[in-house]
Amino acid sequence: MAHRILRIDSSIKPEGSISRQLTDDILSRLTQAHPGAEVTSRDLGADPLPATDGHWIGAISTPAAERTAEQARTVALSDSLIAELKAADTVVIGLPVYNFAAPAQLKTWFDQLARAGETFKYTETGPVGLVENTRAIVAYSSNGTRFGSDIDFASGYVRQMLGFFGITDVQFVASDHYAIDPASSIKAANDGVAKIAA
């Protein structure tokens, strides 16, 4: 069976995005190691998902047979996003840091995925993720918010959400000081890409 890769970009920059460059590089490394890999791509920056709201929670809370046509479309989109995630062997996520946190459009993707009984379940000992045998590689990019620093509220959030869904094999590649020293920031990221076990 072909290796299945889900690529998620979330930069709002159509050109000159470091996180997109890194997801390109990561994808290239993975597809070289897995010829014939099946790649599914979502560009959340260019094609944002609808935010979760009262209509969304009402739609997913309504039994399928009782949903309106609009509710059915809302749930179908969420279902398709969940199916993409569950089908993936590897998820590659572009994580540009905006104002010390993950982009709103990436959070919306996680919000669309976070459904009890689909990507996680509640147990007596706490929530358990339902996405199995999947790993994630995250391309972290920032002009000056250092990866793992006290002001980095992006990487911990992404790691937490992935873990909540059951994805605990998570690797970060970081270009985290581009505005300060572009050359060394990109070199650090490229070194990280080179170390990825394909």
Per the annotation, binding residues for FMN are 11, 17-19
Domain ranges of the chain: 4-194
pTM for the whole thing?
0.96
Give the annotated binding-site residues: 11, 17-19
DSSP state of 188: H
Question: How far, CA to CA in Å, does 28 sit from each of 33, 120, 167?
Answer: 9, 31, 22
Alpha-carbon dihedral 85, 89, 94, 99, rounded to 10 degrees: 60
Query: Partners of 162 in the beta sheet?
Result: none
Q: Per the CATH hierarchy, to which homologous superfamily does domain 4-194 belong?
A: Flavodoxin domain (3.40.50.360)
pLDDT tens-digit map of 73-96: 999 999 999 999 999 999 999 999
Tens of pLDDT, residues 42-63: 999 999 999 999 999 999 999 9
| Sign for the pseudo-dihedral over CA of 115, 117, 119, 121 | positive
Answer yes or no: is pLDDT of 189 > 80: yes
pLDDT at 197 over 80: no
Contact at 8 Å (CB) between 161 and 110?
Answer: yes
Check if the beta carbon of residue 109 is closer than 8 Å to that of residue 10.
Answer: yes
How would residue 198 be classed by pLDDT, with cut points 50, 70 and 90? low
* Residues 6+ away with beta carbon under 8 Å from 170: 135, 136, 137, 138, 158, 159, 162, 163
Would you call 89 exposed, middle or buried from its count of C-beta atoms within 10 A (0-12, 13-18, 19+)? middle
The residue type at 79: D
Residue type, 27: L
- pLDDT score at 188: 93
